[in-house]
Homo-oligomer: A and B are copies of this chain.
């Protein structure tokens, strides 16, 4: 099965990289950008056969490693 995990910064956590990208976009003349926050995606291939098992494995992966839950949220999406 294929799945996508998205990890984003919690609200209120500073994101210097996002800020810098914002500034860079502005100086490149890309109009209309108010704010940018950067996160990560993980495209995962799983050997498990059903959706609940995949979701459970990925939740486990997020809690154990993929996200730093002090500052990050995660979302798991099994694509099929």
CB neighbors of B among A27-55 (8 A): 28, 30-48, 53-54
Contact of A43 among B32, B37, B43, B44 (CB under 8 A): B37
- Count residues of A near B (Cβ-Cβ below 8 Å): 34
Q: Which of A6, A42, A48, A53 has the most CB of B within 10 A?
A: A42
Number of identical monomers bound together in the oligomeric complex: 2
Contact B33 A65 (CB under 8 A): no
B residues in contact with A65, CB < 8 Å: 21, 24-25, 28, 30
Chain B min CB distance to A46 (Å)? 5
A8 within 8 A of B: yes
Which A residues are closer than 8 A to B by beta carbons?
6, 8, 18, 21, 24-25, 28, 30-48, 53-54, 57, 60-61, 64-66
